[in-house]
């Protein structure tokens, strides 16, 4: 089970009983094994519905859903759900069970041996940076919001599912801790490499978390399915353009670090850090942050430092402007697109 | 079911027994039961409602208010009557005292829970509009607490009617319980007939109180409220 | 049946002369003069009178609450699943709860007879409203997201009920049990009018003898003490069964 599995939706539609319009309409996309697909869209666009179709919490009206090449519609729902990690915004930890018992839920349902469950719980607690000795016997009421959310993720990971479904998992967390949990989840995902469908209504979170983003519009229609960079560079239509925001240029800059920019060669004279302007930035800085700092510093060019602290090159406002217009002119899927997923992870780890 | 036929005949004859003249009529006994019960309930309401409402208004004394209710429930009517009898000698006063002892706790507890549970934001809003403490009680807390308040009064009414009939077992005469306690004179058909009357009387009292409650409940609350549907929790206010 | 009770009325009416029963050689002057409370009478009569009555009382209450709990649990589970059952169940159990005990016992004697069955049926019927309502409220109080998580992880309905819903409803269930137990212990003192058992028996004897104050106070006090003890025991049980309710952020 440990291997991540590819998820494919084929023309999936859902109409709730007594509803005239479908909540999901002809949804098709494929999430490659081990990728994070973020489902994003305004409230009521059918994101939750889509997730619950995948683990068969609600019946599909038409279309097919394949997990690892096998239709979920022919699976026994309970058995299927035990094979799919499921995390919801309200977490839904069992208040009457300890952290350890909560995490052990699915392994117990699967009838694992006690020792194996114990070992697995320890492993997961360590994975989410909670001290097993201290946290295993605590009740959910004794945890902070962030800790609860992490336990929720650990519980979903317990039986090492090939697919994780996460419905606005950080929606109820304050912005500072949300950022921290996002970074943590990306680090975790780099280790466990699950196929993940991650729902949010926050486009910034989508850009940060997703290898690919599926934007839904009202009525559960797929507006665009692409990498974050492509969506920011070439929004499919006005709806997407408006949804990603007028600042999509800036958001795009956030996806690139200085390390990826073709900088202006510094004069040999100025290779000494001390000889340059006040602004000196490490190469992991995102272009967006660099721009912001340069604007605060009256548009002065910035020196980009390599890992040893030597000046690697110069960044000017004109160079950034050039980058933006070049990218916009590029054909879709060209240029830096291929490397975008790794870029996202680095950006995320850089902490936004 | 022959016994029930006989019992209904006894009721139809208003409690008259052939060959035993001078017995009180069922109507008279029913009215007496109501009178004794009503006095007890009225005294209890006068004592308990202000106490519970006041405790709820100041949000104090939850422990006392809740546990009073618990202890009240733990007192067997017959034991209270018997002990009252042992200490003071049985009479209307002791019966009424017993009724009050049994009826006050549930009213205090429920009045307390009702008023204490009124949304604090509403009370703050009322205070912000310049209402005095008394106005807040009268115009905000009491109307919103009608449900729990009446739940307490209805529970108390059940206790009071039941205890009034039980008083006959302790030797107090002047209620329908007299018939049930005196099978020698009334035979089983009379006992059964009186039991039917007692049950009907208690249900009627409950029905009337339910109607009163419905009339007193603000119209806005009537739609949402499931009267009496909350959990009975002896520790509701402590937890 | 009520025959015994009838004779009390007669004897009370006839009271006036010294009516202290002859307790033979054991009668102390305290008993003879019917003082408020004679400890020597209590110690002499614990074995022959009070203990059997107390034991019978406990048994009556335990059986009633046990059966009442099983019935209420079934009713509450049904109403939890099919909401439309709540209203009729509430109406019927409220009616049963409202009928005064003295009357309900006699109403049952006609079809069932003056025996332990009538007594238990009546006592059980008084537990239903309380237990049904508390169990149902407890089940309904389980947070929606907890149920969704249970379902999403692949629990069957039955597994969710046993592992999640019932444990989480426990505090409300035990709260209901406390009320039911205390109520039934109080009501069981009336059982003697149709069946010779419980603490009502010595109360009845004492009423017929004057009244004999010590026995009234001892038996009545035992009933009250029993109720309070049972309540305290249930609080203890709840603490053991629901450790999570006391877990707070550290
Ligand atoms: N159980 C349901 N029954 C009927 N309609 C529903 C149900 N759940 C959701 N819907 C409707 O389906 C649409 C999509 O809902 P949802 O998937 O929850 O959206 P999102 O998660 O994107 O906010 C909404 O219009 C909502 O009202
Ligand atoms: Mg949603």
ipTM of the complex: 0.85
Confidence bin at C28 (pLDDT 50/70/90): confident
What pLDDT score was predicted for residue A14? 96
For chain C, say whether A91 makes contact (Cβ under 8 Å).
Answer: yes
- Residue B239, pLDDT above cutoff 70: no
- Specify whether domain C54-249 bears CATH 3.40.50.2020: no
Pick the atom of ligand 1 nearest to A16's CA.
Answer: 4
For residues C18 and B35, the model is more confident at: B35
CB of A196 closer than 6 angstroms to any ligand 1 atom? no
- Ligand 1 in contact with A146 (CB < 6 A)? no
Structural domains in chain B plus CATH codes: 25-221 (1.10.3720.10)
The pLDDT of residue B238 is above 50: no
User: How many beta-carbon pairs below 8 A join chains A and C?
Assistant: 81
Q: Which atom of ligand 1 is nearest to the CA of A49?
A: 17
Pocket test for ligand 1, best of A15, A23, A25, A41 (most atoms within 8 A of CB): A23
The shortest C-alpha distance from C43 to chain A (Å) reads 47
Contact of A11 with A26, CB cutoff 8 Å: yes
**Euclidean distance between CA atoms B196 and B194, whole angstroms:** 5
- Contact with chain A for residue C152, Cβ under 8 A: yes
CA max distance for chain C: 78
Q: Are A209 and A182 in contact (CB under 8 A)?
A: yes
The average pLDDT across C113-123 equals: 95
- Interface touch B171/C134, C-beta < 8 Å: no
Which pLDDT does position A270 carry in this prediction?
A: 55
Cβ distance C248 to A142 less than 8 Å, yes or no, reads yes
Q: Distance between CA atoms of A111 and A271, rounded to whole angstroms?
A: 64
* pLDDT value of residue A271: 53
pLDDT digits (tens, 9 = 90+) for C42-83: 888 887 888 999 999 999 999 999 999 999 999 999 999 999
C 47-86 residues with CB < 8 A to B: none
Q: Where does chain C have alpha helices with state H?
A: 2-13, 29-32, 39-45, 51-81, 86-98, 101-112, 116-140, 144-152, 157-160, 166-187, 200-208, 213-241
Question: Which tens digits make up the pLDDT trace of C174-202?
Answer: 999 999 999 999 999 999 999 999 999 99
Instruction: Judge contact between B101 and B47, C-beta under 8 A.
Output: no
Domain range list for chain C: 54-249
8 Å CB contact of C2 and B183: yes
Mean pLDDT by 10 residues, chain A (352 residues): 85 93 95 96 94 95 95 94 93 94 96 96 94 94 92 95 94 88 92 95 93 94 94 92 87 85 72 60 87 85 84 86 76 39 36 35
Ligand 2 centroid–CA A47 distance in Å is 6
Ligand 1 center to C86 CA (angstroms): 28
> What spacing in Å lies between the alpha carbon of A61 and ligand 1's midpoint?
14
Residue A94 Cβ < 6 Å to ligand 1:
no
**Cβ-Cβ contacts under 8 Å, C6 against chain B:** 181-185
Give the integer Cα–Cα distance in Å for A277 and A255: 25
The predicted pLDDT at position A243 comes to: 92
* Chain A contact for C244 (CB, 8 A cutoff): yes
Contact call for C133 and B77, based on CB within 8 A: no
Q: Which residues pair with A67 in a beta bridge?
A: A7, A70
The finding on whether A49 has its CB within 6 A of some atom of ligand 1 is: yes
């Amino acid at each position: 089970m440990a291997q991540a599995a590819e998820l494919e939706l084929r023309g999936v539609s859902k109409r709730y009983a007594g509803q005239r319009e479908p909540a999901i309409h002809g949804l098709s996309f494929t999430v490659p094994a081990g990728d994070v697909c973020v489902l994003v869209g305004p409230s009521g666009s059918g994101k939750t519905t889509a997730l619950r179709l995948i683990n068969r919490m609600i019946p599909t009206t038409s279309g097919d859903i394949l997990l690892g090449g096998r239709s979920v519609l022919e699976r026994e729902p309970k058995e299927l759900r035990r094979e799919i990690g499921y995390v919801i915004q309200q977490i839904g930890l069992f208040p009457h069970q300890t952290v350890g018992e909560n995490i052990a839920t699915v392994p117990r349902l699967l009838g694992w041996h006690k020792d194996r469950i114990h070992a697995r719980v320890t492993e997961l607690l360590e994975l989410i940076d909670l001290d097993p000795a201290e946290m295993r016997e605590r009740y959910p009421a004794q945890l902070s919001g962030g800790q609860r959310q992490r336990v929720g993720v650990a519980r979903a990971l317990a039986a090492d599912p090939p697919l994780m479904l996460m419905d606005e998992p950080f929606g109820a967390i304050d912005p500072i801790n949300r950022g921290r949990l996002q970074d943590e989840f990306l680090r975790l995902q780099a280790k466990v490499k699950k196929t993940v469908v991650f729902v949010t209504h926050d486009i910034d979170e989508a850009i940060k978390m997703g290898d690919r983003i599926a934007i839904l519009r009202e009525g559960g229609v797929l507006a665009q399915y692409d990498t974050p960079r492509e969506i920011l560079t070439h929004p499919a239509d006005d709806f997407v353009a408006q949804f990603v925001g007028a600042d999509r240029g800036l958001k795009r800059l956030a996806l690139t670090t200085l390390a990826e920019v073709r900088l202006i060669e510094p004069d040999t004279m100025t290779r000494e850090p001390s000889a340059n302007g006040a602004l000196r930035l490490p190469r992991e800085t995102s272009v967006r942050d660099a721009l912001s700092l340069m604007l605060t510093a009256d548009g002065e060019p910035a020196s980009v430092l390599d890992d040893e602290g030597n000046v690697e090159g110069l960044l000017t406002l004109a160079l950034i402007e050039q980058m933006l217009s070049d990218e916009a002119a590029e054909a879709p899927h060209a240029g830096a697109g291929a490397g975008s997923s790794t870029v996202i992870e680095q950006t995320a780890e850089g902490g936004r | 079911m022959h016994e029930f036929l006989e019992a209904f005949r006894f009721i139809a004859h208003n409690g008259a027994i052939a060959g035993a003249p001078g017995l009180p009529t069922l109507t008279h006994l029913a009215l007496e039961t109501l009178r004794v019960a009503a006095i007890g309930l009225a005294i209890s309401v006068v004592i308990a409602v202000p106490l519970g409402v006041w405790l709820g208004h100041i949000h104090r004394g939850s422990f006392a208010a809740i546990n009073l209710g618990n202890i009240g429930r733990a007192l067997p009517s017959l034991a209270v009557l018997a002990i009252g009898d042992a200490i003071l000698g049985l009479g209307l006063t002791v019966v009424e005292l017993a009724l009050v002892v049994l009826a006050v706790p549930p009213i205090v507890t429920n009045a307390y829970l009702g008023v204490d549970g009124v949304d604090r934001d509403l009370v703050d809003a009322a205070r912000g509009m310049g209402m005095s403490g008394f106005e807040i009680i009268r115009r905000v807390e009491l109307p919103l607490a009608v449900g729990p308040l009446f739940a307490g009064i209805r529970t108390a009414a059940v206790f009071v009617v039941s205890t009034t009939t039980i008083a006959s077992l302790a030797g107090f005469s002047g209620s329908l319980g007299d018939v049930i306690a005196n099978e020698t004179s009334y035979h089983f058909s009379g006992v059964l007939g009186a039991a039917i009357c007692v049950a009907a009387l208690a249900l009627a009292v409950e029905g009337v109180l339910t109607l009163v409650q419905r009339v007193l409940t603000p119209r806005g609350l009537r739609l949402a409220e499931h009267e009496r549907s909350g959990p009975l929790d002896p520790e509701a206010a402590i937890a | 049946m009520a025959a015994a009770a009838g004779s009390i009325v007669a004897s009370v009416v006839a009271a006036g002369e010294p009516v202290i029963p002859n307790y033979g050689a054991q009668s102390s002057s305290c008993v003879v003069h019917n003082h408020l409370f004679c400890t020597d009478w209590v110690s002499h009569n614990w074995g022959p009178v009070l203990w059997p009555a107390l034991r019978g009382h406990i048994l009556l209450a335990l059986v009633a609450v046990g059966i009442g709990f099983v019935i209420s649990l079934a009713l509450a589970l049904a109403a939890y699943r099919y909401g439309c059952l709540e209203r009729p169940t509430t109406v019927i159990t409220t009616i049963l709860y409202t009928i005064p005990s003295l009357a309900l016992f006699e109403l049952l004697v006609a079809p069932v007879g003056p025996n332990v069955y009538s007594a238990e049926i009546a006592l059980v019927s008084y537990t239903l409203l309380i237990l049904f309502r508390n169990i149902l409220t407890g089940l309904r109080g389980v947070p929606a997201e907890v149920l969704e998580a249970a379902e999403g992880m692949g629990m069957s309905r039955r597994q969710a009920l046993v592992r999640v819903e019932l444990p989480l409803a426990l505090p409300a269930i035990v709260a209901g049990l406390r009320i039911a137990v205390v109520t039934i212990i109080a009501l069981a003192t009336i059982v003697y009018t149709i069946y010779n058992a419980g603490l009502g028996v010595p109360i009845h004897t004492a009423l017929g003898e004057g009244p004999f104050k010590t026995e009234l106070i001892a038996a009545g006090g035992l009933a009250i003490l029993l109720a309070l003890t049972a309540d305290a025991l249930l609080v203890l049980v709840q603490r053991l069964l629901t450790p999570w309710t006391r877990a707070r952020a550290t």
